[in-house]
Amino acid sequence: MNKPNNVINEPFGLASQDIDFFRENGFVKLAKVLPAEVLQFYGEEITAKVMQLNTMHLPMKERTTYKKAFLQIANIWKQSEIAKEFVFGTRLARIAAELMGTTGVRLYHDQALYKEPTGGATPWHVDQFYWPLASEKCVTAWIPLQDTPLEMGPLAFAAKSQNYPVGRDLPISDESETKLKISLKEGNFEHWQQPFNLGDVSFHYGWTFHHAGGNSTEQMRKVMTVIYMDEHMRLQNPANKNQQIDWDVRCPGAKIGEIIDTELNPVLYSKTV
C-alpha cells in the first residue's frame, strides 16, 4: 500500500467541550481523528509486527483470563521505523497534552491489543495499577484499526470513575471482574459503551475504570494504543511487583523522584519547544 497523504503530525481541532467532557468523565471518544487510509497504511505494518512478535500460541481454552483477552505486544516502535513514525506522531500527542492540560507529553510506551475471534472479555481495571507514575497526568489513546462494533469488544468506561479509590489495587483477573462489577455498581457510575468507527480514537486517564467485551466475530479486533504521560512526570516508588517490572522494562535507568527522561521515554510534543 502506498503511503497516504499524512496528517499524523498536523494539529487536530480539539473542541473545548471535548476537553471539558474528558476532565469530567475521565475519558472521551473523538470522531474522525485520523483518516481511514492513514490507519490502513500504518495498521498493515503494526499487524505484521504483532504476528511476527507474538509468542502466545496456546488454544484459547488453555489460557488465563488475561491472556484470553488479547494478544499484547509493547514498544513496537522499537521494531519498525514505520510504526515509530506513527507512535511519534504529534497529532495524538498534542491531543493528549491538551486534554490533560500539560505543557507536553512523553511516551510511556505503545501497545498493540489484538483480540482474536472468540477472544474473551477484558475485565474491569485501571491501567495505573501497573504504572509507577507519581501523578494522574497520564492518558491512553485507544486507536482501532478497523470499524469496531459492540460484538467485537470496543473499549467501555465507567464515567467519572477516575477519582474512585475502591479497586485501584486489583490486577486484571476473574476476581477483579467480580469485585469491580459490584463496587462500580454501588458507586452508581454510568456505564459508557459505544461502537467505534475507523478513525475514532478514545483517550482515558490511567485511573479511569474501563473494560471491553469479548470478540464474537470472525475478525481480529486490531487496536493500537499509545500511552502518554506529562513531560514532567516523575517516577514513584513502585507500589507493587507489576510497577517494579514496568520501571525495569518501560523506563530503565529512571530514578525515583526524578523526571522519567530515558531513551524509551522521549518527549513527543511540547508547546514550550
Q: Which domain holds residue 45?
A: 16-264
CATH of the domain at 105: 2.60.120.620
Report if residue 10 sits inside a domain.
Answer: no
Report if residue 8 sits inside a domain.
Answer: no
pLDDT tens per residue, range 182-237? 999 999 999 999 999 999 999 999 999 999 999 999 999 999 999 999 999 999 99
Q: Please tell me the total count of domains within the chain.
A: 1
Report if residue 3 sits inside a domain.
Answer: no
Report if residue 7 sits inside a domain.
Answer: no
Rounded Cα gap, residues 194 and 262, in angstroms: 37
For the chain, the average pLDDT equals 93
Question: Is a pLDDT exceeding 70 seen at residue 254?
Answer: yes
Report if residue 172 sits inside a domain.
Answer: yes
Report if residue 6 sits inside a domain.
Answer: no
Rounded Cα gap, residues 106 and 72, in angstroms: 21
Using a pLDDT cut of 90, give the percent of the chain over it. 85
Cell numbers placing 103: 505543557
Mean pLDDT throughout 143-152?
Answer: 98
Which of 4-13, 14-23, 177-186, 213-222 is least confident?
4-13
pLDDT given for residue 179 in this prediction = 95
Q: What residues have CB less than 8 Å from 225, skipping those under 6 apart? A: 110, 111, 112, 113, 140, 141, 142, 143
Question: Is a pLDDT exceeding 60 seen at residue 41?
Answer: yes
pLDDT tens per residue, range 61-106? 656 665 555 688 999 999 999 999 999 999 999 999 999 999 999 9
